[in-house]
Amino acid sequence: MILCSYNQGDIYLNYCACLKELCGSSLTAKQIKDLRWQISSDFFKQLNYKPKAADVLHALKDYGYTVVLATTGIKDFVDICRVENENIKNAANFDDIFSFIITRDDIVESKPNPEIHLKVMEKLNVLPNDCLVVEDSLMGVQAAKNADIETIAIYDKYSDSDREEINNIATYKLDNFELMLKQIEKENQGLFKK
């Protein structure tokens, strides 16, 4: 909710300023942001894909789809996952899967603004009906809808408070990536798999 309210400028610094006020911290917003960075960077080195998500990425790539990572995460966090996280590198290496990556550093407006998706479509020279966004958060589903792109909402327990709104906005709803993998294989049955 707070990140939605502060989606311009340095959203993480704005978020940390809000945390400072809410918690009555003596730290500055910048100090809180720096501490958050330390904790988060360790976390991002250990992060794993959600169950079957890496398999979905490989299937999409194998069937010839263009796969792009469009995240409002900052480039530094993405680079930790891409370069330092052995779990991710071994399961579905970003450099092998994604045609390109767009991060928060590449945009002015954060989700739910559609800017990130508009940049992807511009770079690929495609229209919204050529795209499909996979999301697990309300801001992400709203951004896709605002770009007029169909969306698959994958269940995430951390979005339970927004579940009803996510389900109302998303084009498709799936409980997990295993169901998505089965659907991909069903829809691509008979196509040559590389």
Q: Tell me, yes or no, whether 29 and 114 share the same domain.
A: no
- At 18 the pLDDT is 86
- At 193 the pLDDT is 46
In a domain, 193, yes or no: no
pTM of the shown model: 0.83
The torsion defined by the Cα of 142, 133, 77 and 177, in degrees rounded to 10, comes to 110
Residues of the chain with pLDDT under 50: 192-194
Compute the chain's Rg from CA coordinates.
18
Instruction: Supply 162's token pair.
Output: 């927004």
In a domain, 192, yes or no: no
- At 192 the pLDDT is 45
**What is d(CA 184, CA 159) in angstroms, rounded to the nearest whole number?**
24
Q: Tell me, yes or no, whether 153 and 127 share the same domain.
A: yes
Q: Tell me, yes or no, whether 162 and 182 share the same domain.
A: yes
- At 39 the pLDDT is 87
Instruction: Supply 184's token pair.
Output: 């991909």
What's the total number of domains in the chain? Answer: 2
Q: Tell me, yes or no, whether 107 and 183 share the same domain.
A: yes
- Is the separation of the CB atoms in 44 and 80 below 8 Å? yes
Instruction: Supply 185's token pair.
Output: 């294989």
Q: Tell me, yes or no, whether 34 and 125 share the same domain.
A: no
In a domain, 139, yes or no: yes
Range of the domain at 29: 1-46
Q: Tell me, yes or no, whether 18 and 73 share the same domain.
A: no
- Is the separation of the CB atoms in 119 and 106 below 8 Å? yes
- At 191 the pLDDT is 56
Q: Tell me, yes or no, whether 118 and 140 share the same domain.
A: yes
Q: Tell me, yes or no, whether 17 and 79 share the same domain.
A: no
- At 190 the pLDDT is 60
Q: Tell me, yes or no, whether 88 and 176 share the same domain.
A: yes
Distance from the first to the final alpha carbon of the chain: 43
- Is the separation of the CB atoms in 156 and 129 below 8 Å? no
Q: What is the CATH number of the domain that holds 57?
A: 3.40.50.1000
